[in-house]
Chain A
Amino acid sequence: MLNEGVHTSELLRLIPLFPLAAAVFHGVMIGLLRRPLPRAGVIAVSCGAVLLSFGVAILALGELLSYPVESRVLVDDLYTWVGAGRFVAEASLLFDPLSAVMSLVVTGVGALIHVYSIGYMDDDERDDKGFQRFFCYLNLFMFSMLMLVLGDNLLVLFLGWEGVGLCSYLLIGFWYGDEWNAYCGSKAFIVNRIGDFGFLVGIFVLFAALAQVGHPTVEFREIQTAIGLLADRTVAMPWGGEWKLLTLVGVCFFVGACGKSAQIPLYVWLPDAMAGPTPVSALIHAATMVTAGVYMVCRMSFLYAAAPGASAVVAWTGALTALVAATIAVAQTDIKKVLAYSTVSQLGYMFVAAGCGGYSAAIFHLGTHAFFKALLFLGSGAVILAMHHEQDTDKMGGLARYIPKTHRVFGVGVLAISGFPLLSGFFSKDEILLSAFAAEQIPGHLWLYGIGLGTAVLTAFYMFRVHFRTFYGECRAPAELRSHIHEPANTVMYPLYVLAALSVVAGLLSPPQLWGDLLGIARSNSLHHFLEPALSRGAVHTVEHSVEWLLVALAVSAFVVGAGLAWWMYVRSPEIPGRIRERAAGLYRAVANKYWVDELYDTVLVHPLVAVSDRVLYRGIDAAGIDGVVNGSAAAVRALAARGLKYAQTGLTQSYLFFMIVGALAMLGWMLRSS
């Protein structure tokens, strides 16, 4: 274990501990004792736990900042988890600038969403058990996510990785009475698992290689020091050809990230995950769980910096995902589905940055996206609540009159994500596009930039589209519903206000140096500098200031084009969408049906697998084969006894005596055989 320049802190274990304790408490209450707590108690326990975690995270940050830049690493060793010969894996927590940012985002946004859920889930007419169960799962999720981001080695990270997958399943299928919800939960879990398999393969390959060069370890810091030894190793692929070992590992890890962070081809679970309650969508599928993949790539930035092939894969996959998801979002009518595809698209952006070496840009966007996407999801939740669980924008419209506060906060989110100048999304998106533009080590990086810019246009377009369709124009809701539309409770609105504020100012806290130079502030890019010791440099090529300003101008024009187009199509001349739908019917259908990817997977993968599983494995091998053998052997014994052995029971004393004599003589003969 590396211990120079490292400080220990017993604070760290408290961060995941509070949510875990709350989750266990709820679990015992509901599962073991079967005495649900009244709502106030549940709120106190769960929200209190998360707020405490947030507080401790702030304290830990304070402690971190008190150290000089070179030694900003806090470690908390819990216990030795695996001890097998030379391989030792500790269960220990790491708090460096990267995990600090992550844990603050997770606990902060998590706490806000916990508060929001008080109001959102209160609407639920079910008994208190459901309420408590929800918070139990939420707390468990917080624990897993915190273990993921605070883990000191790949094993602890993977523990959290699996844990969030589980909690995602539990929460998506929360209203499990409806079979569709359960199906969506299963789909999320299974697709995640596929990614996890790739992740595991990567871990194994990496570990095996490290062990071969004498460093059998899974600890991040140790891997980082030893990674240079693996720079030249290659692996022979089963389809011929040789890959660099580090590229293989990077790609395998990225497969895991694709599963968790919903990139092509494993993104299909995220839109269906909207079947869960809206706070779940906000927390897990916008702000935290899906960002785990991005975190993992950045945590392993030293590996990706040394494996340009893998980085290229990451960047291009991210870009394509961003574009494709954005095109699908353009045609969706369910408000949550639009946001889901938007999340997929924005995650693609983060991977573009990570692939191009702009790791801090990726984390920056991760943070700002957490703010405004959570805001948007929670806002849509408020709309849904107001509309009495109606989610189709076709039935909305003109809601600005009925729910003005919701309209305003939602609008802030829309502006932020579209890149309105000086809002948080503007800065973070700019950094990403800049890193793509400057990444000369990635083949076709200018195309990457172009895709990113085009996606920005689409992003502004579909976000404003949804905004206009929901809040502007005439209200398409049925009349009796209209009278019941009102603003949600304060516990619902307050987190929205906080998130709106964060969406506005977060960018101003760490604007790129470009702006800092404008205002005469040195090192304005505070987040980037803060994260620097934890992330790899990447192959950063600097760009001239004039070019940078050009890129900024292009980004602003993207916003103008997208928003303007949406305004023209949905406010000014609302008949246009209908006409486009008629003219380009085929294209519209393809996009609205999400390019039939789910259907493709279904026919090619799911149905054959299920058919094999059912007919071959279940009926053939299990029922006929194994059961046949087991039942058959029992039946055979029974037949033997019934048809053969029972005739020995004659009831006659002397025949029994005969058998005894035979037996005795046989034994006697055996014992005397030598003589």
Chain B
Amino acid sequence: MDLVVDLSVVLFAIGVVGALVRRNVIVILMSVELMLNAVNLAFVAFSRMHGNNDGHVFVLIVITVAAAEVAVGLGIVISLFRNRDTVNVDDVSLLKW
């Protein structure tokens, strides 16, 4: 069981670094998905630990939310691309001081 949680932490860390380092917006979104998956794994692990189904329900909800988020996020990416012709996140810095 410890190993599962370790796995979850590792995957999460990879996701964070990915979101931090990569410049391609789509890859960043994918890293976020990875983070969510890591969290799901942790939920399932704990649920297994307690012998309770509650964690599974949360996983379902997280998956739903992730799906919704991806839909909207990709919609934003498409809009962004249409207007700026780039998916480089460094190029969208109009909120700079």
Query: Does B16 lie within 8 Å of A661, measured CB to CB?
Result: yes
Task: Please give the distance in Å from A653's CB to the nearest CB on chain B.
Answer: 5
A-chain residues with CB within 8 Å of residue B96 when the two chains form the complex:
649-652
Q: Is A126 an interface residue (CB 8 A)?
A: no
Main secondary structure, interface of A, reads helix
With the chains together, A650 CA to B21 CA distance in Å?
16
The one of A647, A649, A652, A658 in contact with B89, judged by C-beta atoms closer than 8 angstroms, is A652
B95 near A649 with CB under 8 A, answer yes
Looking at the assembled complex, report how far the CB atom of A659 sits from the nearest CB atom of chain B, in whole angstroms.
Answer: 11
CB of A29, distance to nearest CB on chain B (Å): 59
Distance in angstroms between the alpha carbons of A646 and B93 in the assembled complex: 14
Contacts of A647 in B (CB 8 A): 97
**Bound CA–CA A194/B39 (angstroms):** 79
Flag A80-116 by CB within 8 Å of B: 1 or 0 each. Answer: 0000000000000000000000000000000000000
Type the 1/0 row for A436-459, where 1 means its CB is closer than 8 Å to any CB of B. 000000000000000000000000
* A653, B94: Cβ atoms closer than 8 Å: no
Q: A654 at interface (Cβ–Cβ under 8 A)? A: yes
- Alpha-carbon gap, A661 to B93, bound state (A): 20
Closest to B89 in A: A653
Report the bound CA distance from A206 to B94 in whole Å. 75
CA distance A658 to B20 in the complex (A): 7
Flag if B20 contacts A657 (CB, 8 Å): yes
Nearest chain A residue, comparing its CB with the CB of B22: A654
Contact A654 B95 (CB under 8 A): no
The answer to whether A652 touches B97, judged by C-beta atoms less than 8 angstroms apart, is no
**A658-B20, A661-B16 in contact; A653/B92 too (CB < 8 A)?**
yes
Which of B21, B90, B97 contacts A649 (CB under 8 A)?
B97
With a cutoff of 8 Å between Cβ atoms, the chain A residues found around residue B92 in the complex are 651, 653
Closest to B96 in A: A651
- Decide: A650 and B16 in contact? CB cutoff 8 A: no
Nearest CB in chain A: distance from B16 CB, A: 6
Provide the B56-97 mask, 1 if CB < 8 A to any CB of A, else 0.
000000000000000000000000000000000110111111
Among residues 12 to 67 in chain B, which have CB atoms less than 8 Å away from a CB atom of chain A? 16, 19-21, 23, 28
**6 A-B pairs closest in CB distance:** A651-B93, A651-B96, A646-B97, A651-B95, A649-B97, A653-B89
Contacts of A651 in B (CB 8 A): 92-97
Please report the C-alpha to C-alpha distance between residue A657 and residue B96 in the assembled complex, in whole angstroms.
15
Q: Is A657 in contact with B97, judged by CB distance below 8 angstroms? A: no
CA distance A650 to B90 in the complex (A): 10
- In the bound complex, CA of A650 to CA of B96 (Å): 5
Q: Which residues of A contact B (CB under 8 A)?
A: 646-647, 649-654, 657-658, 661
CA–CA, A56 to B16, complex, Å? 92
Shortest beta-carbon distance from A202 to chain B in Å: 66
Tell me the nearest residue of chain B to A656, going by C-beta: B95
Kindly provide the distance from the CB of A667 to the nearest chain B CB, expressed in whole angstroms. 15
The docked-state distance in angstroms from the alpha carbon of A646 to that of B19 is 24
Bound-state CA distance A649–B94 (Å) is 10
The answer for the CA separation of A661 and B16 in the assembled complex, in Å, is 8
Chain A residues, Cβ within 8 Å of B97: 646-647, 649-651
Say whether A661 contacts B20, CB under 8 Å.
Answer: yes
Q: Can you list 12 contacts pairing A with B, beta carbon distance less than 8 Å?
A: A647-B97, A649-B97, A650-B93, A651-B93, A651-B94, A651-B95, A651-B96, A652-B89, A652-B93, A654-B89, A654-B90, A657-B20
Which residues in B have their C-beta under 8 angstroms from that of A652?
89-90, 93, 96
Q: Closest B-chain residue to A642, C-beta based?
A: B97
B residues in contact with A646, CB < 8 Å: 97
Q: Give the chain B neighbours of A657 by CB distance below 8 A.
A: 19-20
How far in angstroms is the closest Cβ of chain B from A278?
72
- With A653-B89, A657-B19, A661-B20 known, 12 other A-B pairs at CB within 8 A are A646-B97, A649-B95, A649-B96, A650-B96, A651-B92, A652-B90, A652-B96, A653-B92, A654-B19, A654-B20, A654-B89, A657-B20
Q: Which chain A residues lie closer than 8 Å to B94 at the CB level? A: 651
Whole-angstrom CA separation of A647 from B97 in the bound complex: 7
Select from chain B the residue with minimum beta-carbon distance to A646: B97
